[in-house]
Chain A
Amino acid sequence: MIRFRHISTLFALFFTVVFYGQSNVDLAYKNFKEKNYSAARDYIDKVIHEEGINQDPQVWQLRALIYKRLTDDLGLVARDTALSSLDQADQLDAKGEFKEKIQGYRKNIVIEYYNDAVVELKAGRCEQSEKSYLKYKELYLSRIEPNNDFKTQDIEYYLALSSKYETISKESSEESKAKKNMEQAMVALEEVLKLDEKNYEANLRMGIIYYNSGVKLILGLTPDVSIEECIETNKQSVSIFNKALPYFLKAYETNPNKKEIIEGLAGIYTNLNNKEKAQEFVEKLKQFEK
């Protein structure tokens, strides 16, 4: 009886050891399929310390997929773990059997940073959004396509970012917050103009931001202002309108038949009290009324 007990214990122990190594992968996969990602992680993290099986690139791919799914719970560290697991899978895939698949998973994870940037932007977390966007670019260039040209995407992103900053600024009741966000909007537009100095949207919106700040300055005058303050306000607003002018002119150069830019130029010249030029654009505006 005692002997039998010993044999059964040894048997159990043997099966546990053997089965343990195999079943951890199975259990990780089973839990992954059942969307029990935390449990799946516990099993897969055991597997990667098991000699032999931890040399299987598929194990590391599975780990990447499990950690990818855990990003919501564990944060970006999980996504980093997913990416490093794919790197490990890549390294172990000596024959290149899984190369395409690994690269696909990797691209999928990298794109999540871009999607994060969009989600964060929609939620008004602009700084975080830009960090995610930059991380996406960095990873895309380092892990997916080193020669990828981001110009078009950068322009689209920074136009969207500036627009969000502007919206936040306009909705803010706190003066300093409104100012800070408007400045950030301008920084984002400058990014666009660095990439494409003739970009119509960026030039138009930069012009409008300056124009609106000049107008705001004038409208801020109270009936108690001194003559010196009148002159100073005029001087400052003229300086701001003059800053707006080159942006409007550049936008006009790119798109001379758009009503909005002709209106903008009419507004700028009117408020600069440049009657001849104001009249020129007011006349052009009349064409749209016909």
Chain B
Amino acid sequence: MRLLVVIFILFSLSGFEGAKKNMDVKDYSYRLKAAFIYNFATLVDWPSSRKTGDFVIAIYGDDEVYQELKSRYSVKSVGSQKVKVVKYSDVAEISKSHILFVGEQKGRDLSTAKSKTSSYNTLLVSEAKGGLQKGAIINFIGPGGVNYEISKSNAKKHDLVVASRLLNLAKKVE
């Protein structure tokens, strides 16, 4: 009786490496910032003169936040006002709006943006170092994702009343 010759065959584990590359590296904070900006719209009170027509949210210097607001928030309202999202490509285009968000890339234009909106009761939102000192009412700050600080005095200068709920959740209130 002649039995078999033994052959060892270990199956290969190759082909299981596919999962590792699946990482989309980008800044996802645009979704949070857009959600915050819409909440700012609902938690700040504008003078009655600004409570007619569309509620204009303008974006300067952050295309992703603009796209997010445009695609997901244009159907929404603030009180009885329909949200309208606009984008400025140049500081010269900045005009009347309820909210103006000046993105980090255009932080250097913050002072100009402030002077161009000073007579429109505009809630100026920035994402810049020392944004409040440069005239913003709300400034997104890091590190730690997306947080915000508020200047009550800047809000008052623009006749805007910030809800205590918004103040209480701020990282810092000046």
Q: Which residues of A contact B (CB under 8 A)?
A: 25, 29, 58, 61-62, 65, 101, 104-105, 107-108, 111, 114-115, 118-119, 121-122, 156-157, 159-160, 162-164, 166-167, 170, 185, 201, 204-205, 208, 211-212, 215, 218-219, 221, 223, 225-228, 230-231, 233-235, 237-238, 241, 260, 263-264, 266-267, 270-275
Contact of B19 among A157, A205, A271 (CB under 8 A): A205
Q: A104-B6, A157-B13, A271-B29 are in contact. List 8 more A-B contacts (CB 8 A).
A: A115-B10, A118-B12, A167-B18, A215-B24, A223-B38, A228-B169, A271-B145, A272-B142
In Å, the complex CA distance between A160 and B15 comes to 8
In Å, the complex CA distance between A226 and B165 comes to 11
Q: List 14 A-B contacts (CB under 8 A).
A: A111-B8, A115-B10, A157-B13, A160-B13, A163-B19, A201-B20, A208-B23, A212-B23, A227-B36, A228-B169, A230-B36, A241-B145, A260-B20, A270-B27
Contact of A227 among B6, B20, B31, B169 (CB under 8 A): B169
- Residues of chain A lying within 8 A (CB to CB) of residue B28: 215, 218-219, 271
Q: Say yes or no: B16 contacts A163, CB within 8 Å.
A: yes
A242–chain B nearest beta-carbon distance, Å: 9
The residue on B at minimum CB distance from A271 is B28
The residue on A at minimum CB distance from B16 is A160
- Residues of chain A lying within 8 A (CB to CB) of residue B21: 260
Q: Say yes or no: A273 contacts B38, CB within 8 Å.
A: no
In Å, the complex CA distance between A174 and B34 comes to 28
In Å, the complex CA distance between A170 and B21 comes to 13
Q: Say yes or no: B22 contacts A108, CB within 8 Å.
A: no
The reply on B43 being an interface residue by CB < 8 A is yes
- Residues of chain A lying within 8 A (CB to CB) of residue B11: 114-115, 118-119
Q: Say yes or no: A227 contacts B19, CB within 8 Å.
A: no
Q: How large is the interface on B (under 10, 10 to 19, 20 to 34, 35 or more residues)?
A: 35 or more
The residue on A at minimum CB distance from B3 is A61
Task: Please report whether the interface of chain B is mostly helix, strand, loop or mixed according to DSSP.
Answer: loop
Given A163-B16, A272-B142, are A114 and B36 neighbors across the interface (CB < 8 Å)? no
Q: Say yes or no: A223 contacts B9, CB within 8 Å.
A: no
Binary flags per residue of B55-70, CB closer than 8 Å to A gives 1, else 0: 0000000000000000
- Residues of chain A lying within 8 A (CB to CB) of residue B3: 58, 61-62, 65, 101, 105
Question: Residue among B4, B6, B11, B145 with the most chain A CB within 10 A?
Answer: B145
Q: Say yes or no: B8 contacts A107, CB within 8 Å.
A: yes
- Residues of chain B lying within 8 A (CB to CB) of residue A208: 20, 22-23
In Å, the complex CA distance between A271 and B27 comes to 6
Binary flags per residue of B65-83, CB closer than 8 Å to A gives 1, else 0: 0000000110010000000
The reply on B1 being an interface residue by CB < 8 A is yes
Q: Say yes or no: B166 contacts A272, CB within 8 Å.
A: no
- Residues of chain B lying within 8 A (CB to CB) of residue A260: 20-21, 23
Given A62-B1, A271-B145, A273-B146, are A230 and B32 neighbors across the interface (CB < 8 Å)? yes
Q: Say yes or no: A25 contacts B1, CB within 8 Å.
A: yes
Given A107-B8, A111-B9, are A121 and B16 neighbors across the interface (CB < 8 Å)? yes
B52–chain A nearest beta-carbon distance, Å: 23
- Residues of chain A lying within 8 A (CB to CB) of residue B12: 118
The reply on B92 being an interface residue by CB < 8 A is no
B147–chain A nearest beta-carbon distance, Å: 7
The reply on B90 being an interface residue by CB < 8 A is no
The reply on B143 being an interface residue by CB < 8 A is yes
The reply on B39 being an interface residue by CB < 8 A is yes
In Å, the complex CA distance between A241 and B28 comes to 12
In Å, the complex CA distance between A11 and B17 comes to 70
B78–chain A nearest beta-carbon distance, Å: 12
Q: Say yes or no: B169 contacts A233, CB within 8 Å.
A: no
- Residues of chain A lying within 8 A (CB to CB) of residue B31: 218-219, 221
- Residues of chain B lying within 8 A (CB to CB) of residue A121: 13, 16
In Å, the complex CA distance between A7 and B101 comes to 115
- Residues of chain A lying within 8 A (CB to CB) of residue B38: 223
Contact of A108 among B6, B18, B146 (CB under 8 A): B6
Q: Say yes or no: B6 contacts A107, CB within 8 Å.
A: yes
The reply on B144 being an interface residue by CB < 8 A is yes
